[in-house]
C-alpha cells in the first residue's frame, strides 16, 4: 500500500502548553454529580443483567480484534510526534467495536458506534502517576464532535438522556429512530436540522466496519494538539461504508457481520491526525474546551500518520468476548504524556470511565489487566 504524503508543514499549528486548558471553577462538582447519576445506571443494568456488571457507556461489544499499527514513513515534523515519531515503527493493537449505549440493546436500534484501540509497547512518561503500563488507549465514536461540549452541558443534557436510554426498551427506541428519521427528512426541506444530541439517533443504521471513527475531543499530539480519526482504507471495508443493516438481520447483526467478515477477509484502516491551528476563525479556548466545536478541515485537514491492519481471525470467540468485556479497560487517560487527553469532556471521561471500570471489575470479580503482549488476547 502506498502511503500518502501529507502537505507541507503549516506554520500556524498551535504548540502544546499545559495552560491551553481552562477548567470551569465548578467543574469538579459537576463531574461528581455526573458520576453519581451514572452510578445509578450501573446499578440498574447490574440488576437487569442478572448480577453481571457492564460498562455505563459502550456496553455492547461487536468484535474484539487483533491487529498491527504501522507508522508511515516520511512524515513531516508536525506529524512525526509521540508514538508516531519513529518511521515504520509497528505496534500490536487490540481493538473493540461497540455501541455507545450503557445498555445491551438490539443492533437494530440506531445508536452511536464506538471503536476503542489499545496499542501495546508504547513507552514514555505516563499521564497517570500510578500507571506503569506500556499501552496507549484511544477511544473513538463515529461522529466528528460530541453532542455536549463540556461537563456543565453534559450534566444538563447528557445525564437526562443517559437516564432515558437506560430505561427505554428496544421497541420504544425503534419507534424513536423511525420518528426522528422522518422529522429529519422534513426539516431538511426547510433548511433546518435536529439538535446534535437528537440527530445521533436519526441516521441510518449502517454497518460498523465501514464507519470512520473520531476522537471528537482533542488530545496532545507531541509538540502540538490534534484530533485523531480512523477510517477504512482497503477495498474490503470501504465497500461497506454506508451499507445499512437489514431489518431481518437480527438483534446481533453487527457482531455477526464482524465475525462473518473476518472469517475470510483482512482489512486496513488509516489513522489520521487533524492538528489545531491558530486560524482567526477559531477561538483556541473553545477549540480545546468545547467538544462540540468542529475544526475546519479547509484550514487543517486530517492527514494520514499510520495504517492499522487486521488479519483473518475469529473476531468474537467466547474467550475474546469475555476478555474484552470483563477484563480489559479502554480509557484514553491510559496514555503517554505525548497524547494526554485535553478539554472538559476528556476530564469528565477520566473520572467517569475509572468509576465505571472499578464498579464493573469489582462486581464481576475480574481484576483489570493491562496486557503486556498481544499473546494475552485469546484466539
What is the CATH number for 134?
2.40.180.10
Report the pLDDT averaged over residues 269-290: 88
Q: Residue 4 above 90 pLDDT?
A: no
pLDDT band for position 1 (cuts 50, 70, 90): very low
Residue 282 to residue 277: CA distance in whole angstroms = 8
Within-domain flag for 4: no
Q: What is the DSSP letter of 2?
A: P
Q: Is residue 10 part of a domain?
A: no
Q: What is the pLDDT of residues 233-265, one digit of tens each?
A: 999 999 999 999 998 999 999 999 999 999 999
User: Given this model, what pLDDT does residue 185 score?
Assistant: 87
Asked whether the predicted pLDDT for residue 2 surpasses 50, the reply is no
Does 363 reside within a domain? yes
Backbone angles phi, psi at 108, to 5 degrees: -75, -15
Angle at 191 between CA 185 and CA 196, to 5 degrees: 70
Evaluate whether residue 23 is within a structural domain.
Answer: yes
Q: Is 164 part of a structural domain of the chain?
A: yes
Residue 104, Cβ neighbours under 10 Å: how many? 16
What's the pLDDT score for residue 199?
78
CA 130 to each of CA 124, 126, 133, 334, 365: distance values in angstroms, whole numbers, following the listed order: 14, 9, 9, 10, 21
- The model's pLDDT over 98-118, given as tens digits with 9 standing for 90+, comes to 998 889 999 999 889 999 999
Helix (H) or strand (E) holding 183: helix 170-189
Beta bridge partners of 336: 126
160-215 pLDDT, tens digit each: 988 888 888 889 888 888 898 888 888 888 888 887 777 778 888 999 999 999 99
Task: Give per-residue pLDDT as tens, 44-66.
Answer: 999 999 999 999 889 999 999 99
pLDDT exceeds 70 at position 288? yes
pLDDT mean across residues, the chain: 92
Residues 22-27: contacts with CB within 8 Å, 24+ apart? 22/285, 22/288, 22/289, 23/289, 23/344, 23/347, 24/150, 24/151, 24/152, 24/344, 26/152, 27/150, 27/151, 27/152, 27/344, 27/347
Residue 13 located in a structural domain? no
Angle at CA of residue 215, ends 54 and 255, nearest 5°: 45
In-domain check, residue 3: no
Tally of domains within the chain = 1
Q: What residue numbers bound the domain in which 112 lies?
A: 18-367
Residue 195 lies in a domain: yes
Amino acid at each position: 500500500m502506498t502511503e500518502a504524503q501529507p502537505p507541507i508543514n503549516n506554520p500556524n499549528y498551535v504548540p502544546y502548553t499545559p495552560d491551553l486548558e481552562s477548567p470551569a471553577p465548578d467543574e469538579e462538582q459537576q463531574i461528581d454529580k455526573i458520576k453519581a447519576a451514572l452510578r445509578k445506571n450501573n446499578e440498574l443494568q447490574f440488576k437487569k443483567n442478572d448480577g453481571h456488571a457492564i460498562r455505563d457507556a459502550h456496553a455492547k461489544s461487536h468484535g474484539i480484534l487483533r491487529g498491527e499499527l504501522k507508522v508511515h514513513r516520511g512524515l513531516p515534523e508536525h506529524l512525526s510526534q509521540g508514538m508516531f515519531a519513529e518511521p515504520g515503527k509497528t505496534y500490536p493493537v487490540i481493538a473493540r467495536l461497540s455501541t455507545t449505549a450503557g445498555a445491551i440493546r438490539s443492533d437494530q436500534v440506531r445508536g452511536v458506534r464506538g471503536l476503542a484501540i489499545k496499542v501495546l509497547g508504547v513507552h514514555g512518561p505516563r499521564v497517570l502517576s500510578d500507571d506503569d503500563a506500556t499501552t496507549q488507549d484511544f477511544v473513538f465514536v463515529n461522529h466528528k464532535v460530541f453532542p455536549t461540549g463540556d461537563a456543565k452541558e453534559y450534566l444538563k443534557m447528557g445525564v437526562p438522556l443517559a437516564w432515558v436510554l437506560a430505561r427505554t426498551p428496544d421497541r420504544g427506541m425503534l419507534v424513536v429512530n423511525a420518528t426522528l428519521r422522518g422529522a429529519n427528512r422534513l426539516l431538511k426541506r426547510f433548511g433546518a436540522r435536529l439538535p446534535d444530541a437528537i440527530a445521533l439517533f436519526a441516521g441510518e443504521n449502517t454497518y460498523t466496519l465501514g464507519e470512520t471513527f473520531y476522537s471528537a475531543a482533542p488530545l496532545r499530539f507531541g509538540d502540538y494538539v490534534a484530533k485523531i480519526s480512523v477510517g477504512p482504507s482497503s477495498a474490503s471495508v470501504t465497500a461497506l461504508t454506508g451499507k445499512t443493516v437489514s431489518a431481518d438481520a437480527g438483534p446481533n447483526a453487527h457482531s455477526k457481520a464482524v465475525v462473518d467478515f473476518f472469517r475470510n477477509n483482512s482489512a486496513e484502516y488509516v489513522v489520521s491526525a487533524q492538528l489545531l491551528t491558530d486560524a482567526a476563525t477559531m477561538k483556541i479556548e473553545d477549540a480545546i474546551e468545547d467538544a462540540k466545536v468542529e475544526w475546519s478541515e479547509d484550514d487543517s485537514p486530517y492527514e494520514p500518520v499510520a495504517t492499522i491492519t487486521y488479519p483473518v481471525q475469529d473476531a468474537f470467540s467466547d474467550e475474546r468476548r469475555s476478555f474484552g468485556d470483563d477484563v480489559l479497560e479502554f480509557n484514553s487517560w491510559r496514555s503517554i504524556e505525548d497524547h494526554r487527553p485535553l478539554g472538559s469532556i476528556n476530564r469528565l471521561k477520566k473520572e467517569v470511565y475509572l468509576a465505571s471500570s472499578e464498579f464493573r471489575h469489582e462486581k464481576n470479580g475480574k481484576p483489570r489487566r493491562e496486557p503486556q503482549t498481544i499473546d494475552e488476547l485469546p484466539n
